[in-house]
Structure formats: structure tokens, C-alpha cells
Amino acid sequence: MKSKNEVVVKRPDDWHLHLRDGEMLQAVLPFSAELYGRAIIMPNLRPPVRTVKDAAAYRRRILNCLPAGHGFQPLMTLYLTDETPPAEIRLAKSEGLLTGVKLYPVGATTNSEHGVTSIKKVYRVLEVMQELDMPLLIHGEVSDPAVDIFDRESVFIDRELQPLRQAMPELKIVMEHVSSKIGVDYVLAAEKNLGTTVTPHHLLINRNSIFAGGLNPHMYCLPVVKREADRLAIRQAAVSGDPRFFFGSDSAPHRLVDKEKAGGAAGVFNISTALSSIVRVFEAEESMDKLEAFMSLNGARFYGMPVNPDTITLQKTETPVPATDNIPVGRDRVKVFQPREPQFWQIVDGLRQTK
């Protein structure tokens, strides 16, 4: 850190990102690639990224949208299904192409129709992952319709995650996008092999936002944002610098037509505002000295990767930075997640060319 109005941190990484495909990929990728060193790319495409071959092809499509030699590294994941053969994990390990395997309980979120119907069914695959030190990334919510939507994370922890961790203590697990105080406390109580990504929106809003001024689909994501006490617990953990908590934007773009309809899609596109709003959170919590741990160090350490060698510089401006409300994608648009508060931090050094 240099002064109150300038911050220098190692180039950050994004440990949970949806880039989609086709023209959506082309439209959203530059926002990640200009700033982040690496990003874990979620595999919930239609159809999902189910094999090492799918992941290699998807990686190529991502890199093809960037200038040759661009430094952004997409870290690929596989979408676990009931049918994933253990041999696919061995292949993934030997090819060195995958950073992790994503488990979506069937029906838990966007494009999870092919997800796992019961964790017991994939135990053999998980055992191989444990043996090979391949991280398991979990969407930690039950999809049982009898469970209240605000309790889905805590019930998942009791019913699924705790038994799994007891059965496979050496399996490295990321409980993605922690969204509740119970989830935060659970991660804090874990001695090893458990971490969590934290999204900007779970740090910034509570469930009132979904209903303030009328029903607002642009505040709807999964796990759904919860009570103020949950938000404050997540915030406290993130700004503490605890190594088990690291940034994962969960930036999940959907076209306006798909958000603003009955049965509108879950997911917010936040990556263009993510860093500046997170800096505000750390500033407000008087924890600027922990910003680098959260954005640039903890995730790399959890995944056993080196920290990015270069740095970025942020400066605080006197007047609010103008906010982009939406971006074009083909003939439609994608709304940018807007933090309620004005933004005062902008990146003045370290942005990379993406064209």
C-alpha cells in the first residue's frame, strides 16, 4: 500500500467465473482478461463441459477470443455427472488440463439439469480425486423443494458436506460462494482442505434488495442473498484476511430477455464493477491491508499455485467513477450489477490490452 488514496496489490485472480460461449463469451471475456491473472471457468454450458476433450476445446475457444500471447489464464473445470467415469479424472490429471471438478446437485442452479442426483453415486470418482489431489468445487445447496430456499446452504452442510468431509478428509473442497453465517462458521471451523469463494454481491446486498422498489430480477442469483446478519458475517470473514476465504466473482451473465421474464434466470454480471466495490468494502471496514490477501494471495495458496508476479494499482478519485449500466451482446444487452453506493476506486495501472 502506498497512501490512503492509492493501493498496489499483486494482480488478482477470480476463483469462480462464468464466461459462457459464443457471442456472450466474446462480449464478457475482456472484462476479466484485462485485469485478472487467472480465473476458474465454470463448466455449466449447454451442453455442459463433461470431458477432458470438452474442456480442452472450451479453453481453446476462450483463448481464441484474446490476442495471441495474452497473459490471462483460464483454469478449466469439469462438470460432474452421475456417469462421470473415474478414468476421466485420471486422464485429466495426467494431461494437466483441469484445475478442479464442479459438483452441482441436480436442479440447484442455472444449467444444473445434468448435475449429481446423489453424492453417494459419485463416491468412486471423489475417491480418485482425493487420491490425485484434484480439488472438488461444490455448489453447496440442496435442491429438495421441501427445504426453504434460505436454508439450502445450511441443510447441504449438514446432510451432504459434513458426511463427505468425514469420509474423505484428504479431499480438497471449495464450498463455492458462501452465502450464510452458518456457512462462514462452518468454513472457519474446518482445520484443513476446505475453503470458500466470496462474491461481491454477497458482500454488498441482503435479501431486501430483491424486493426493494418492486421485484428486482437483477438482484436474483443463487445462492440467493440472505439476511443482513449473513452478509455481515461474510464481510467480516472476507476482510479478516483468513486464508480460507478468497475472491470468486460468480459473474454469471444472462441476456436482459432471460432475466426480465417470468421464471427469469439466476445470476448477476458483476465483473466490471467487482474490484472497485470490493475495495470500498475493505476501505469501509478499515482493512485495506487485507485486500491483497483476499484478492490475490489466498486463492492461489489454496490451489497450490504461485502468486501472480506483477501488480496493479488502484487510485481513489474525488468524484464517483461513471458506472456502465449495461453492455451489448449480439442484439440484446446484459445488465451490469450495480453496487448501491457510488464507486470511487479505479485501476490506474496494470490493465492489459484485450484487442
Cα distances from 288 to residues 10, 118, 239, 245, 340, in angstroms, run: 14, 42, 8, 16, 20
CA distance 174 to 41: 14
Is 21 one of the annotated active-site residues of the chain?
no
Provide the mask over 246-265, with x wherever binding to Zn ion is found by CB under 5 A and - wherever it is not: ----x---------------
Kindly state the helix (H) or strand (E) to which residue 90 belongs, with its residue range: helix 86-95
How many residues at the interface with ligand NCD, by CB under 6 A?
12
Kindly state the helix (H) or strand (E) to which residue 15 belongs, with its residue range: strand 14-17
Q: Measure CA of the first residue to CA of the last residue in the chain; give whole Å.
A: 30
From 72-80, 106-114, 121-129, 161-169, span contacting ligand NCD (CB under 6 A): 106-114
Among 81, 84, 109, 298, binds ligand NCD (CB under 6 A): 109
* SS3 state at 332: strand
Residue 256 binds ligand NCD, judged by CB under 6 A: no
Cα distances from 244 to residues 50, 95, 240, in angstroms, run: 28, 28, 10
User: What cell numbers appear for 106 in the block?
Assistant: 441436480
For the bound state, the minimum distance from the C-beta of residue 267 to ligand NCD, rounded and expressed in Å, comes to 3
Provide the mask over 313-332, with x wherever binding to ligand NCD is found by CB under 6 A and - wherever it is not: --------------------
Residue 139 binds ligand NCD, judged by CB under 6 A: yes
Residue placing its CB nearer to ligand NCD in the complex, 91 or 266 = 266
Q: Out of Zn ion, ligand NCD, none, which partner does residue 109 contact, by CB within 5 to 8 A per kind?
A: ligand NCD
Q: Out of Zn ion, ligand NCD, none, which partner does residue 154 contact, by CB within 5 to 8 A per kind?
A: none
Residue 221 binds ligand NCD, judged by CB under 6 A: yes
Residue placing its CB nearer to ligand NCD in the complex, 104 or 303 = 104
The one catalytic residue in 13, 230, 242, 250 is: 250
Residue among 253, 298, 243 nearest 273 (CA): 253
Cα distances from 192 to residues 169, 171, 220, in angstroms, run: 8, 10, 32
- Prior bond to 223 cis, omega within 30? yes
- Contact residues for Zn ion, defined by CB under 5 A: 250
Q: Which residues are part of the catalytic machinery? A: 250
- Contact residues for ligand NCD, defined by CB under 6 A: 18, 44, 109-111, 139, 221-222, 250, 252, 266-267
